[in-house]
Structure 1
Amino acid sequence: MDKFVELTQVGKHFDTKKGRFQALTDVNLSIAKGEFVTLIGHSGCGKSTVLNLIAGLLEASEGGLICNGREIDGPGPERGVVFQNHSLLPWMTCYGNVYLAVEKVFAGKESKAQLKERTEAALDMVGLSHATYKHPNEISGGMKQRVGIARALAMQPKVLLMDEPFGALDALTRAHLQDELLRIVGETHSTVVMVTHDVDEAVLLSDRIVMMTNGPAATVGDIVKVELARPRDRLTLANDPHYHAYRTAVLEFLYQRQQRPAA
Structure 2
Amino acid sequence: MNAIVKVENVGMSFDTKKGRFVALQDVNLQIHSGEVVSLIGHSGCGKSTLLNLIAGLTLPTSGVMLCNGREIAGPGPERAVVFQNHSLLPWLTCFENVHLAVERVFGAREGREALKARTARALDMVHMAHAAHKLPQEISGGMKQRIGIARAFAMEPKILLMDEPFGALDALTRAALQDELIGVMEKTGATVVMVTHDVDEAVLLSDRVVMMTNGPAATIGEILAVDLPKPRDRLQLAHDARFAEHRAAILEFLYQKQMKRAA
Report the TM range for the smaller structure's normalisation: over 0.9
- How many Å separate the matches in 2 of 1:61 and 1:122? 37
What is the number of residues matched between the two proteins?
263
2:242 corresponding residue in structure 1: 242
Q: Deviations over 1:147-175 (max 9, x none)?
A: 00000000000000000000000000000
Match runs of 1:107-256 below 5 Å? 107-256=107-256
**Residue 87 of structure 1 corresponds to which residue in structure 2?**
87
Secondary structure (helix, strand or coil) at the match of 2:259 reads coil
Distance in 2 separating the partners of 1:51 and 1:97: 23
Q: Could you give the per-residue CA deviations for residues 159-208 of structure 1, whole angstroms, max 9, x where no partner exists?
A: 00000000000000000000000000011000000000000000000000
1:40 Cα shift? Answer: 0.1
1:2-46 CA distances to partner (integer Å, 9 max, x unpaired)?
A: 211110000000001111000000000001100000000000000
TM-score scaled to structure 2, two decimals?
0.98
Q: Distance in 2 between matches of 1:73 and 1:4?
A: 15
- CA–CA distance in 2 between the matches of 1:124 and 1:261? 47
TM-score scaled by length of structure 1: 0.98
Going from structure 1 to structure 2, the CA distance change for 1:222 and 1:261 (only over 3 Å counts) comes to: closer
Unaligned segments of structure 1, at least 5 residues: none
Give distance in 2, aligned partners of 1:42 and 1:145: 24
Is structure 2 residue 7 aligned with structure 1 residue 7?
Answer: yes
Question: Is the CA contact 1:5–1:68 (under 8 Å) kept in the aligned structure 2?
Answer: yes
Letter in 2 for 1:252: E
Deviation at 1:69, TM superposition (A): 1.5
Q: 1: distance between equivalents of 2:107 and 2:69?
A: 25
Give, in whole Å, the separation in 2 of the partners of 1:204 and 1:222: 18
Q: Distance in 1 between matches of 2:160 and 2:260?
A: 29
Equivalent position amino acid for 1:242 in 2: R
What is the Cα-based RMSD across aligned positions, in Å? Answer: 1.2
Q: CA deviation at 1:108?
A: 1.4
Report the 3-state secondary structure (helix = DSSP H, G, I; strand = E; otherwise coil) of the residue aligned with 2:222.
strand
Q: 2:139 corresponds to which letter in structure 1?
A: I
Listed one character per residue, the Cα deviations across residues 204-236 of structure 1 (whole Å, up to 9, x for unaligned) are 000000000000000000000000000000000
Counterparts in 2 of 1:99 and 1:261: CA distance versus 1, 3 Å:
farther
Alignment partners' CA distance in 1, 2:23 and 2:4? 24
Structure 2 letter corresponding to 1:83: F
Conserved in 2, the CA contact under 8 Å of 1:120 and 1:129?
Answer: yes
Aligned partner of 1:53 in structure 2 is: 53
DSSP-derived class of the 1:77 partner: coil
Q: Note if contact 1:42-1:260 (Cα within 8 Å) is conserved in structure 2.
A: no
Q: Distance in 1 between matches of 2:27 and 2:177?
A: 30
- Identity %, equivalent residues: 68
Contact 1:199 1:251 (8 Å CA) reproduced: yes
- Distance in 2 (CA, whole Å) between partners of 1:9 and 1:131 is 45
The runs of at least 4 aligned residues of structure 1 exceeding 2 Å deviation read none
AA at the equivalent of 2:78:
E
Any stretches of 5+ residues in structure 2 without a counterpart?
none
CA apart distance, 1:121 = 0.4
Report the equivalent of 1:101: 101
What amino acid does structure 1 have at the position aligned with 2:59? E
Q: Report the Cα distance in structure 2 between the residues aligned to 1:221 and 1:41, rounded to whole angstroms.
A: 10
In the TM superposition, residue 260 of structure 1 has moved relative to its aligned partner by 7.7
